[in-house]
Structure 1
Amino acid sequence: MAVPDTVKAHFALALVQVNFGIYHVISKVALTSGVNQLVFCAYRDLIALAMLAPFAYLTERRTRPSLTWRTVFSLMVLGLLGIFANQLLFLLGLGFTSPAYASAMQPAIPVFTFILTLCMGTEQIRLKQWSGVAKVGGTMACVSGAVLLALYKGPVVWGDDSFNMHNQNDHSLFALHMNLWQIGILCLIGNCFCFALYVALQAPLLKIYPASSSVTAASYAFATVFIVLSAFAGLSDWNDWILSSSEIMAVVFSGIVASALNYWLLTWSNKVVGPGIVSLYMPIQPLFSSIFSRIFLGSSIYVGSVLGALFIIVGLYSVTWGQMKSRSIDHYNDPMGRDFTDDISADGSLQTSLIKGN
Structure 2
Amino acid sequence: MGFETYKPTIVMIALQFMYASITLCTRVTLVQGLSARVFVVYRQTIAFLLIAPIAFGPRRKTGNSIFLGWKSFWLIFLAALIGVTINQNIYFSGLYYSSSTIASATGNLVPAFTFLMAWVMGLEKVQIKSLRSIAKVIGTMLCVAGAVAMALIKGPKLLNSQFIPTNGLLLILGKENSDNLDSNWMLGVILLIASAICWSFWLILQVTLSANCPDHLCLTAWLCLFAAIQSGFATIFIEPNINSWKITSSLELISCLYAGFSSAVSFFGQAWCISHRGPLFSAMFNPLCTLGRITCCDFWTICGIMGKIKG
> What TM-score bracket applies, with the shorter chain setting the length?
0.7 to 0.9
The 8 Å contact of residues 146 and 284 in structure 1, kept in 2 or not, is answered as: no
1:237 to 2:238 alignment: no
CA distance in 2, matches of 1:128, 1:54: 51
Shift of residue 278 of structure 1?
A: 0.8
Alignment CA distance shift 1:30-1:111 (3 Å): same
Q: Which residue is equivalent to 2:255? A: 250
Q: Secondary structure at the match of 1:123?
A: coil
Unaligned runs of 5+ in 1: 300-358
Alignment CA distance shift 1:66-1:27 (3 Å): closer
Shift of residue 192 of structure 1?
A: 0.5
The one-letter code sitting in structure 1 at the alignment partner of 2:279 is: P
Shift of residue 60 of structure 1?
A: 6.2
Task: Say which is worse superposed, 102-111 or 204-213, in terms of deviation.
Answer: 204-213
Give the number of equivalent residue pairs.
Answer: 293
CA distance in 2, matches of 1:236, 1:195: 27
> Would you tell me which structure has more helix in proportion to its own residues?
2
Shift of residue 134 of structure 1?
A: 4.0
Shift of residue 162 of structure 1?
A: 6.7
CA distance in 2, matches of 1:60, 1:127: 48
Q: Deviations over 1:53-83 (max 9, x none)?
A: 2322245664739743222111110000001
> Would you tell me which structure has more strand in proportion to its own residues?
1
Using the size of structure 2 for normalisation, the TM-score is: 0.82
Alignment CA distance shift 1:205-1:127 (3 Å): farther
Using the size of structure 1 for normalisation, the TM-score is: 0.72
Q: Deviations over 1:234-292 (max 9, x none)?
A: 334333222111110011010012x1111111111111111001111112111111221
Q: Which residue is equivalent to 2:127? A: 126
Task: Say which is worse superposed, 261-270 or 208-217, in terms of deviation.
Answer: 208-217
CA distance in 2, matches of 1:61, 1:93: 44
1:73 to 2:74 alignment: yes
Shift of residue 146 of structure 1?
A: 5.5
- What is the percentage of aligned positions where both structures have the same residue? 26
Shift of residue 85 of structure 1?
A: 0.8
The 8 Å contact of residues 19 and 289 in structure 2, kept in 1 or not, is answered as: yes
Q: Which residue is equivalent to 2:299? A: 295
Shift of residue 11 of structure 1?
A: 0.7
The 8 Å contact of residues 109 and 147 in structure 2, kept in 1 or not, is answered as: no
Note the aligned Cα RMSD (angstroms). 3.0
Q: Secondary structure at the match of 2:287?
A: helix
Alignment CA distance shift 1:280-1:2 (3 Å): closer
Task: Say which is worse superposed, 239-248 or 39-48, in terms of deviation.
Answer: 239-248
